[in-house]
């Protein structure tokens, strides 16, 4: 199942002395999720500390578990929309 996920980062909630290390861990985790096919595509939202991405998971519970692996998760607001196949995309 695919999900449209918007993540907004509250940078102010991260202590400055922890920011670099936390962002480095976040990058490694996200790269691993991309390598394993969980994150399908990802875009930055211009002008905001946010991303929009397409994630693949078995169901909403699995997606929530995978989002929970992100080191920045306590500092992220997530909006999730389950996606279904549009008839124009069907073979």
CATH number of the domain at 33, please: 3.30.70.1060
Q: What pLDDT, on the 0 to 100 scale, is given for residue 4? A: 98
Tokens of 86: 């549009």
Q: What pLDDT, on the 0 to 100 scale, is given for residue 90? A: 82
The answer to whether the Cα torsion of 23, 32, 52, 61 is positive or negative is negative
pTM: 0.90
Total domains in the chain come to 1
Q: Which pLDDT tens digit goes with each residue over 11-49?
A: 999 999 999 999 999 999 999 999 999 999 999 999 999
Percent of the chain topping pLDDT 90: 96
Please give the residue range of the domain that contains residue 20. Answer: 2-89
Asked if pLDDT for residue 91 goes beyond 80, the answer is: no
What is the spatial distance between Cα 44 and Cα 7, in angstroms, rounded to a whole number?
10
């Amino acid at each position: 199942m695919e999900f449209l996920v918007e993540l907004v980062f509250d940078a102010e909630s991260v202590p400055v002395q922890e920011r670099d290390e936390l962002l480095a861990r976040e990058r490694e985790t996200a790269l691993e999720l991309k390598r394993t096919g969980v994150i399908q595509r990802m875009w930055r939202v211009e002008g905001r500390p946010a991303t929009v991405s397409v994630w693949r998971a078995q169901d909403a519970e699995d997606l929530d578990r995978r989002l929970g692996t992100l080191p920045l998760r306590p500092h992220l607001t997530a909006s999730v929309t389950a996606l279904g196949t549009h008839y124009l995309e069907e073979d």
